[in-house]
Amino acid sequence: MAQTVERIRDAVRRHSTRFEHAIPLIASENLLSPYAKELLVSDFHSRYAEGLPGERYYEGNEQVDEVETLCLDLAKRLFRCSFADVRPISGTVANLAVLKAMAEPGDLVGTCRLADGAHISSASFGAFGLRGVKPAYYAWDSERMTIDVARTKEILHEMRPKLCLFGLSLFLFPLPVRELSATLEEIGARGWYDGAHVLGLIAGGEFQDPLHEGCVVLSASTHKTLPGPQHGILLGNSEDPELTNRLASAAFPGVTSNHHLHSMAALAVSLAEHLAFGRGYARQVIANAKALGAALHERGFDVLGEKLGFTASHTLAVRVTREGGGEEVARRLAHAGIIANKNLLPGDTSPKRPGGIRLGTPEVTRLGMTEREMVRIAELMDDLLHRGKAPESVAADASAFKSGFTGLRYCFAAGEAAYRYYDLVGHPPP
């Protein structure tokens, strides 16, 4: 078995080396800061702390309480809200907690369709199905890549869902929460925002602020534009103590037992770092996405949202039917050292044949790239997908380009000291 262990370690090292040489463009991924990463292997990992700070079921939790209290305070400060719960262990688990607290089996819940960019939580085979709720689908404006307000008002009046989810995995532009909030009030529905993708942009003050636009709860994962650990969070601003009690008891014991204390501690660090650096980071993430969209468009790519500047977030959607379809293009890019994912786009008829790819700029921004580098990335994609350059050759170009970005930005201990962010296996941090 020792050999098997070595094989596992080796596979992780090979993975890290691969990413060290690649251009990472997955919109839902990011890099953890050195201080946050260090806590993932701390003794917090080995402990239990069910309940809330000061109300635990286990002994030995004093320092966990200290860190979790700080984490909750930081979250409330960062999102300018009165309620936070950092016990959901992922975004989907946070979504399940909301559904448990705010809907009953058989209820209708408003949401977008998967092909329009919704997360799988909204699917019958996802969290909606697990809770037994049914979707009431909003109308979609494919040109503006957001919810069609006028037609959705009619749908809401007709279907009268009791909970309305605003959130996407292909999140290009803000959603019309403010515009629909009067309709929600008229039909007695409450607004819920899944901000997993745009959490770091909301916190950085560069995207919409759903808790101040009409949503009573915000659920999210914490490792996408917010460069935290893989974890989940619930945030709220409701004056209604019954709702916050229901959310807290849905988080524990509803959908978690222990809440992965090492990851909670890493989240506390990430929230503190975002308070220090989040504004500049969020601005650059969006500027980079816009610049990449424009550079791809200039090179003949069909980037969605052209009339609106391609995006107002970290994400781009590119229809690649001409280049071979989402699946083939994502695979060819990966062979050439550019990591992205195939994605369903509005109008796609088969979930098995996505017509597009999704690109994101959080990780390259953390590496210190700016608008100039986005042009270079577009050139590499053009070389591969339009000019017939061999994948091995593009991969060599991508690796040479990437070798100029060995430090991490927007965190404490930034720069070259954070060099080993891809791989701590067998390499103690400097």
* Residue 248 φ/ψ region, left for φ over 0, alpha for ψ in the -120 to 50 degree band, beta for the rest: alpha
Dihedral angle, C-alpha 107, 232, 409, 70, nearest 10 °: 120
Q: How far is the CB of 26 from ligand DSN (least distance, A)?
A: 7
Q: Does 169 bind ligand DSN (CB under 6 A)?
A: yes
140 has which bridge partners? 147
What is the number of other CB atoms lying within 10 angstroms of the CB of residue 82? 13
Kindly state the tokens that stand for 257. 């037992």
Positions in 136-155 near ligand DSN (CB under 6 A): none
| 208 binds ligand DSN, rule: CB under 6 A | no
Name residue, tokens 């960019």: 117
**Can you give the C-alpha Rg of the chain in angstroms?**
21
**Exposure string for 336-365, b = 16+ CB within 10 A, e = fewer:** bbbbbbbbbbbebeeeeebbbbbbbbbbbb
Q: Which is nearer to ligand DSN, 194 or 397 (CB)?
A: 194
Q: How far is the CB of 169 from ligand DSN (least distance, A)?
A: 4
Q: Give strand pairing partners of 236.
A: 83, 217
Q: How far is the CB of 299 from ligand DSN (least distance, A)?
A: 25
Asked whether the beta carbons of 359 and 314 are under 8 A apart, the reply is no
Shortest spacing between CB 427 and ligand DSN, in angstroms: 28
Of the pair 119, 131, the CB lying nearest ligand DSN is at 119
* Residue 362 interacting with ligand DSN (CB under 6 A): no
Contact call for residue 409 and ligand DSN (CB under 6 A): no
In this structure, what are the phi and psi dihedrals at residue 343, rounded to the nearest 5 degrees? -150, 140
Report, in Å, the least distance between residue 175 CB and ligand DSN.
Answer: 16
Task: Copy the structure tokens of residue 309.
Answer: 């500047």
Q: How far is the CB of 55 from ligand DSN (least distance, A)?
A: 31
Q: Is 190 a residue that touches ligand DSN (CB under 6 A)?
A: no
Number of residues in contact with ligand DSN under rule CB under 6 A: 4
Residue in 88, 91, 254, 293 binding ligand DSN, rule: CB under 6 A:
91
Using the rule CB under 6 A, is 119 a contact of ligand DSN? yes
Q: Which is nearer to ligand DSN, 71 or 344 (CB)?
A: 344
Nearer residue to ligand DSN within complex by CB, 37 or 358:
358
Encoded tokens for 365:
């921004």
Q: How far is the CB of 285 from ligand DSN (least distance, A)?
A: 15
Q: What single-letter DSSP state applies at residue 201?
A: H
| Residue 28 is a binding residue for ligand DSN (CB under 6 A) | yes
| List of E strands, 159-286 | 163-167, 190-194, 215-221, 232-236
Taking CB atoms, the residue at the shortest distance from ligand DSN is: 28
Scanning residues 224 to 283, which ones bind ligand DSN (CB under 6 A)? none
Residues that bind ligand DSN (CB under 6 A): 28, 91, 119, 169
